[in-house]
Structure 1
Amino acid sequence: MTKEISLDQIKQFNSTYYASKNHLISQRAVMKNGILAASENQSSLVKNNPVFSIDLDTGKVANQKQSGRCWMFAALNTFRHHISETFQIKDFELSQNHTFFWDKFEKANYFYENILNTATKPLSCRKVAFLLQTPQQDGGQWDMLVAIIQKYGIVPKTVMPETFSSSQSRDLNEFLNKKLRKDAISLRQMVENEQSIEEISKAKEGMLQEVYNLLATSLGTPPEQFDFSYVDTDGNYQLKQNLTPLSFYDEFVGRNLSDYVSIINAPTKDKPYNQMYAVELLGNVVGGKEVRHLNVDINTFKNLAIEQLKADEAVWFGCDVGQSSTKDSGIMATDVFSVSETLDVDYTMTKAERLDYGESLMTHAMVITGVDLVNDVPTKWKVENSWGDKVGTKGYFVMSDEWLDEYTYQIVINKKFLPKELLDVIEKDDATLLKPWDPMGALA
């Protein structure tokens, strides 16, 4: 049934609005200051003070600047914590530009392969449209970085420093995606014209050469071999020579990345707990580590994070950072704003409803470096962000436990902290395959 809004209805709406003094108070505050500033609760800032019973010493925060590499920064930050402590190096950073280069290069190949795999499907097919909408982007998942590191290793930031395009990636993404879409036309036409596998492979190789050229021009050329020198906190000069990115990882990090598992909390009906999930068309390295998630209830989710923190190891996590959070003070709390009261609108939704109806999904990755336990119950969590030291408390945020419940979706945990019943689940070779547009396929 179609029914237009009548002028009489508008008069009634207007009359009802002005009948409430609260509306007039809110109107004055919001028109002058905006919705969020008029709704901010100082009491939430007081309650979420940056004091924690478990607080890892992780040093100065990094800055991803105008790029979408939070997932990469967060993962590399967990490694540099270990390097700084083990080798006594102050304010050390790994090269985010190095992993950025190889992620872009591998994503191009991943896109080409998926275009070829769907080449006989019409452009109106939702999967084809999904691929073409964003051929590649800055964002990613933990397992995608693992795939990059296992193939290409890592290097210190001094060996491959930032460039304009790594710190401000919009133009690079625009022109790389423009090229990938143009190449998709050629690849689909070659399949339509029934050209040979050899001809298509040769054409794709030429396309990848052009992608490499574009990335090398924008980001620099990744080193094959390098020397690494530093002065430790005791004032001793150290020199390591003839390193490769893979040997550097083995010597300075040495963690078996296969031991780490993506744990999610997605309380939707289509994802029963204690089961594994994968997402179609989600990845970067063809033949590399598959993105897989183990879905658990929220109490198990938090207990696993606490156990890893107690073992003096930070926790990579993904969340919807834009929900109920302040950038300047660095508070992530469900009560930091009272927008419902200010606007007289009920915004109540469950976590499952927000996922199902597109209201929320993972948008940002950071590192949990502490937790405040009161009678063994978490009240708030310390978060290392990658937005520089001008926000929050020198770059660190405070996340209330209630906010974690509602807006945190993913953590990465060493499987040694998992109970046997969950270990049995991850060791099975099967995983439910989710659609490419499932919210658990969101890239941080």
Structure 2
Amino acid sequence: MTKAISQTQLKSYCKDVQARPSTAVIRRAVTKNGIYASAQDAQTIIDNTPIFSIDLDTGKVANQKQSGRCWMFAALNTMRHEVKDLFKLPDGFELSQNYTFFWDKFEKANYFYENIIKTADKALSSRKVSFLLQTPQQDGGQWDMIVALIEKYGVVPQSVYPEAQASSASRELNITLNLKLRKDAVTLRKLVNDGAKTDAIEAAKDAMLQEIYRFLSLTLGEPPVKFDFEYRDDKQEYHLDQGLTPKSFYDKYVGWDLSEYVSVINAPTEDKPYNHTYSVEMLGNVVGGREVKHLNVEIATFKELAIKQLSAGQSVWFGVDMGPQIERDNGLMATGIHREDELFDIDLSMTKAERLDYGESLMTHAMVLTGVDLVDGKPTKWKVENSWGDKIGNKGYFTMSDDWMSEYCYQVVIKKEFLPANLVAAYDEKPTELQPWDPMGALA
């Protein structure tokens, strides 16, 4: 039964506010300083000093600027750490994020076209078609998606394919590209529903991809096919490596067997039993490339795996909800840094599973774990390499409390050698496919 708010109720609510002795002082604080500043707990900052028992030296942080490429930056940074140390490269060395950005945009266009063709028999009002058309493509991605790109296209140094304006500030590119993709969706759906032959549909798609390639080439630059790598190492000794391709550069300078790195998640919802794998329908970028696949484990196991990899000297790609309980200026991610519940005397508590199920949380950002503080063998806080430049946090690094990790961290990428045999076997099983809009399909 529908019931409107009455005047009697409003008077009661107002009386309750006025009767509280703290009303005036809280109102003055919040209206002047805002919610988070008024609710900040200084003790939480003190309790999370940036000192770590395991602390990898990974150099200067990168800066994704006004783009959503954190997943690329995080992945390329984990590789850069080893490349820099192995070849004694200077601290400013970076792998080209613009290069993987170019191929991601191109492959996502093809991925979108394929899904539009597959769903052409469904009404525009169907949830799957609406999902596709809402965001034909975006900057975000997943670990397995960067793997698919590197396996197909390799990588190059940033000096060979530097940043473009549209990669550092991608809004205009995305608006234009999504307009183009939606326009092409009209054509492809009409061809399918008019009974066009497969050859005709493929010819139309090929012409569309040619236009996408031209658009990206003019916007981001033509990606290199062959190049020379010229640099001075950290001792100022000169090096020149000629006639490289992106794949030969990857093989020589990075050389990771990417099939050995797997996505491990912590999603404590009833629909995802632990120690099983999950994929997400219509999530990916490279058609025919590596599929997105997650192994779900309990949070204690999740942390143990990350600690094993850090202890072996290797940083860890990880994904979080980079919204709640963070302080950008202090570089702090800690539960209790903002105590809004105490400030307003309201219950804001939800479990991690409830936040996922009810749309309150999902993965929004990827970074790199480069350290952890262990006390009596247990983690208390973690060191985080972000990709927001060195002007925030501790020269771009953040401190994450262990409690915050439990609540808002969803994904780590772990080398198989650090997984026990039962989890390796679980990862190799056929995954359960989740709906496209599942929170574990969110793009960092």
The aligned residue for residue 34 of structure 2 is: 34
Gaps of 5+ in 2: none
Provide the rounded CA distance (Å) in 2 between the counterparts of 1:382 and 1:413: 17
The aligned residue for residue 10 of structure 2 is: 10
AA of the residue aligned to 2:21: K
The aligned residue for residue 442 of structure 2 is: 442
Q: CA deviation at 1:359?
A: 0.3
How many residues align? The count is 443
The aligned residue for residue 166 of structure 1 is: 167
* Partner-residue secondary structure (3-state), 1:273: coil
Provide the rounded CA distance (Å) in 2 between the counterparts of 1:142 and 1:397: 21
Question: How do 1:16-27 and structure 2 match up within 5 A?
Answer: 16-27=16-27
Provide the rounded CA distance (Å) in 1 between the counterparts of 2:401 and 2:23: 30
Q: CA deviation at 1:134?
A: 0.2
Question: How do 1:285-434 and structure 2 match up within 5 A?
Answer: 285-428=286-429, 430-434=430-434
The aligned residue for residue 49 of structure 2 is: 49
**Greater CA deviation, 51-60 or 212-221?**
212-221
AA of the residue aligned to 2:24: L
The aligned residue for residue 220 of structure 2 is: 219
AA of the residue aligned to 2:370: T
Question: How do 1:239-250 and structure 2 match up within 5 A?
Answer: 239-250=240-251
Provide the rounded CA distance (Å) in 2 between the counterparts of 1:200 and 1:316: 39
Q: CA deviation at 1:21?
A: 1.7
* Partner-residue secondary structure (3-state), 1:411: strand
How far does the alpha carbon of each residue in 1:302-323 deviate from its partner, in whole angstroms, 9 at most, with x for none?
Answer: 0000000000000000000111
AA of the residue aligned to 1:79: M
Give TM-score, length-normalised by structure 2.
Answer: 0.99
How far does the alpha carbon of each residue in 1:127-179 deviate from its partner, in whole angstroms, 9 at most, with x for none?
Answer: 00000000000000000000000000000001010011000000100000000
* Partner-residue secondary structure (3-state), 2:228: strand
The aligned residue for residue 203 of structure 1 is: 204
Provide the rounded CA distance (Å) in 2 between the counterparts of 1:400 and 1:22: 31
The aligned residue for residue 61 of structure 2 is: 61
* Partner-residue secondary structure (3-state), 2:22: helix
Q: CA deviation at 1:331?
A: 0.4
Q: CA deviation at 1:273?
A: 0.2
Provide the rounded CA distance (Å) in 2 between the counterparts of 1:23 and 1:388: 40
Provide the rounded CA distance (Å) in 1 between the counterparts of 2:344 and 2:162: 47
Q: CA deviation at 1:9?
A: 1.1
Q: CA deviation at 1:427?
A: 2.0
Q: CA deviation at 1:234?
A: 1.7
Provide the rounded CA distance (Å) in 1 between the counterparts of 2:165 and 2:275: 44
Q: CA deviation at 1:23?
A: 2.5
Establish whether residue 74 from structure 1 lines up as the match of residue 57 from structure 2: no
**Greater than 6 Å deviation, 4+ residue runs:** none
Provide the rounded CA distance (Å) in 1 between the counterparts of 2:22 and 2:361: 29
Q: CA deviation at 1:41?
A: 1.0
Provide the rounded CA distance (Å) in 1 between the counterparts of 2:386 and 2:338: 21
Question: How do 1:253-264 and structure 2 match up within 5 A?
Answer: 253-264=254-265
* Partner-residue secondary structure (3-state), 2:317: strand
State the Cα RMSD in Å.
0.6
* Partner-residue secondary structure (3-state), 1:21: coil
AA of the residue aligned to 2:177: L
**Identity percentage of aligned residues:** 62
Establish whether residue 154 from structure 1 lines up as the match of residue 166 from structure 2: no
Provide the rounded CA distance (Å) in 2 between the counterparts of 1:405 and 1:285: 32
Question: How do 1:120-131 and structure 2 match up within 5 A?
Answer: 120-131=121-132
Give TM-score, length-normalised by structure 1.
Answer: 0.99
Provide the rounded CA distance (Å) in 1 between the counterparts of 2:293 and 2:275: 13
Q: CA deviation at 1:396?
A: 0.1
Provide the rounded CA distance (Å) in 1 between the counterparts of 2:3 and 2:196: 55
The aligned residue for residue 229 of structure 2 is: 228
Provide the rounded CA distance (Å) in 1 between the counterparts of 2:28 and 2:236: 59
AA of the residue aligned to 1:192: N
* Partner-residue secondary structure (3-state), 2:269: coil
AA of the residue aligned to 2:205: K
Provide the rounded CA distance (Å) in 1 between the counterparts of 2:274 and 2:371: 26
Q: CA deviation at 1:342?
A: 1.2
